[in-house]
């Protein structure tokens, strides 16, 4: 029997999102429309190829309403959403640890590794972070390089920059000016 995942989409200021929830309304996957293939690969790894099927949702989920609220300015809207993932125990610990990064902050991979009790494993944490199937809700965009630079966001660095500006981590650019090269504290 394959896992049934119900698909919804949401237009946002930085592109269209695809949201997949299971029959219990748990979020199982979230990715950008232009990274749909990546989402399928991650789902195949987690649930085995053919172990899941995607169906169109009949109505609007609480998760979709929370995402809409987040993009509308309610930065706490995603905090309580139920998420279920099927990665390795280490991946799941990293993904769970992402939720410890408060809105309005960014942590380095090393700081996240220390928080998880595995100091010195920033690269392994980064690898697990990159396989996060529920980006945004499990806020991998809040993880930055040790030097404060924006690195490694599967949805693209410009989206990561926008999300960090939206959450107040980075200052919003002045008209016609970019945040490129600004250091995070």
Catalytic residues: 140
Label the pairing between strands 15-21 and 27-32. Answer: antiparallel
Measuring CA to CA, which residue among 83, 95, 96 is closest to residue 24?
A: 83
């Amino acid at each position: 029997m394959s896992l049934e995942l119900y698909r919804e989409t949401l237009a946002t200021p930085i592109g269209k999102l695809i949201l997949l929830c299971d029959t219990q309304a748990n979020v199982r996957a979230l990715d950008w429309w232009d990274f749909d293939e990546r989402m399928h690969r991650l789902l195949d790894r987690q649930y085995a190829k053919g172990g899941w099927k995607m169906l169109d949702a009949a109505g609007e989920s609480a998760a979709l309403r929370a995402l809409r609220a987040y993009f509308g300015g309610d930065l706490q809207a995603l905090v309580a959403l139920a998420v279920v993932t099927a990665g390795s125990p280490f991946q799941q610990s990293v993904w769970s640890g992402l939720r410890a990064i408060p809105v309005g902050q960014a942590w380095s991979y090393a700081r996240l590794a220390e928080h998880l009790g595995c100091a010195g494993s920033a690269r392994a944490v980064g690898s697990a972070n990159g396989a996060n199937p529920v980006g945004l809700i499990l806020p991998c965009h809040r993880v930055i390089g040790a030097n404060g630079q924006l690195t490694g966001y599967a949805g693209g660095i410009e989206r990561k920059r926008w999300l960090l500006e939206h959450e107040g981590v980075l200052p919003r650019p002045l008209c016609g000016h970019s945040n490129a090269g600004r250091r995070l504290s």
